[in-house]
Structure 1
Amino acid sequence: MTKAFKGLEGLCRLLIFAGFVVLMASVLLQVFSRTFLSTAPVWTEELTRFCLIYIAALGAGLALRSGDMVNVDLICESLPGRAPRALRLVSALVTAGFALALLPAAWEFTRIGVRQTAPSLAWRMDFIHASMIVLFVALILWAALRVYEMLTGRHDGRPIPTSEDN
């Protein structure tokens, strides 16, 4: 199971990197066009927004995994005994629960997008709206992994340092 999650983490990182590359290319094209050409393509702004949406959707799960999400560690970690661990466990369960509860609404939101298109790119909006499904599934998976690791004693729920933190 660990290999599968490592692979998923790598895939998410790769897709986030690809999103940043497309975003940078789009912004550079926009700046170049506005500076040196008489007109600038309008689709670059829309593409930039779509990239940001997917970067956030893919990155939320990784941020939860690494502990980069906003936490209230000052209060949590100052509690005595096993209370901090219990709060981290409850927090992961609540996160997974909320994401699971919102998944049907995200699915409905995505289905509505079949009938819509992006104004300048003319892409079907269900592909863009699917980012909400990606977001909630990622949060469910990473929160469930955190709960599993805490219940099996493999981890205490504290942030997992990335290779850059070592």
Structure 2
Amino acid sequence: MTQAFKGLEALCRLSILAAFLILSASVLLQVFSRSFLATAPVWTEELTRFCLIYIGALGAGLALRSGDMVNVDLLCESLPGRWPWSLRLLSAVLTALFAGGLLGAAWQYTRIGVRQTAPSLGWRMDFLHASMLILFAALGLWALMRIFEMLTGRHDGRAIPISEDL
């Protein structure tokens, strides 16, 4: 994996950690407030939803890389010859095309959010809607990386086990 993709992977992992820590703090504040205070802040539930959405968007590309996405290995790997490799390549190509095709719609969706605000936080919704841009860009980039690595012989397209991931 090139240094650029290692940096992108580290950025995604760090961003997921930050979103998870914010989510945890928000939930803890909500539980503490409901247990020990007269009123609980309503914005914590909305912030938690935003964090969950970003965790999913940032983690989709990493899940594709590590093999944590749903696979049909049972069928693909039982085929003879180069069929498994070809199907893995086809899957990566289709994922890249799908992600690339949806980037335009995700951009429109994000632009619509400029005119909307989150009810309890008051934040512009384009910050939340941008998670779809991140999702499709990350999926597309990781799929393109898999295609490149498969065509250059650097990788066979199989999922990368967690032990190699770290």
For residue 161 of structure 1, report the CA deviation from its aligned partner. 1.7
- Distance of aligned partners of 1:164 and 1:82 in 2 relative to their CA distance in 1, 3 Å threshold: closer
For 1:79 and 1:164, the matched residues in 2 are separated by 26
Partner residue of 1:51? 51
Q: How does 1:122-161 map to 2 (within 5 A)?
A: 122-161=122-161
SS of the aligned residue for 2:163 comes to coil
Output the TM-score relative to the length of structure 1. Answer: 0.97
The Cα of 1:163 is off from its aligned counterpart by 3.3
Task: Tell me the TM-score normalised to structure 2 length.
Answer: 0.97
After superposition, give the CA deviation of every residue in 1:84-130 in whole Å (9 maximum; x if it has no partner). 00000000000000000111000000000000000000000001100
Aligned to 1:163: 163
Whole-angstrom distance in 1 between the partners of 2:88 and 2:158: 8
Q: Matched residues in 1 for 2:165 and 2:107: separation? A: 36
Partner residue, 1:3: 3
What's 1:75 paired with? 75
Q: Verify the 8 A CA contact 2:66 2:165 in the aligned structure 1.
A: no
Q: How does 1:83-102 map to 2 (within 5 A)?
A: 83-102=83-102
Per-residue Cα deviation, 1:114-149 (whole angstroms, up to 9, x for no partner): 000000000000011000000000001000000000
Aligned amino acid, residue 158 of structure 1: R
Question: In structure 1, how many angstroms separate the alpha carbons of the residues matched to 2:61 and 2:145?
Answer: 11
Structure 1 residues 16-50: Cα deviation after superposition (integer angstroms, max 9, x where no partner)? 00000000000000001111111100000000000
Partner of 1:106: 106
Task: Provide the rounded CA distance (Å) in 2 between the counterparts of 1:9 and 1:42.
Answer: 34
Deviations 1:39-73 (A, max 9, x none): 10000000000000000000000000111101011
Closer, same or farther in 2 for the Cα pair 1:31/1:164, shift >3 Å? Answer: farther
Give the C-alpha shift of residue 162 in structure 1: 2.5
Name the counterpart of 2:15: 15
Structure 2 equivalent of residue 40 of structure 1: 40
Count of residue pairs brought into register by the alignment? 166
Q: Does 1:121 align with 2:121?
A: yes
RMSD, aligned CA: 1.3
AA at the equivalent of 1:22:
I
Gaps in structure 2 of 5+ consecutive residues: none
CA apart distance, 1:164: 7.3
Pick closer, same or farther for the CA change 1:107–1:165 going to 2, 3 Å: closer
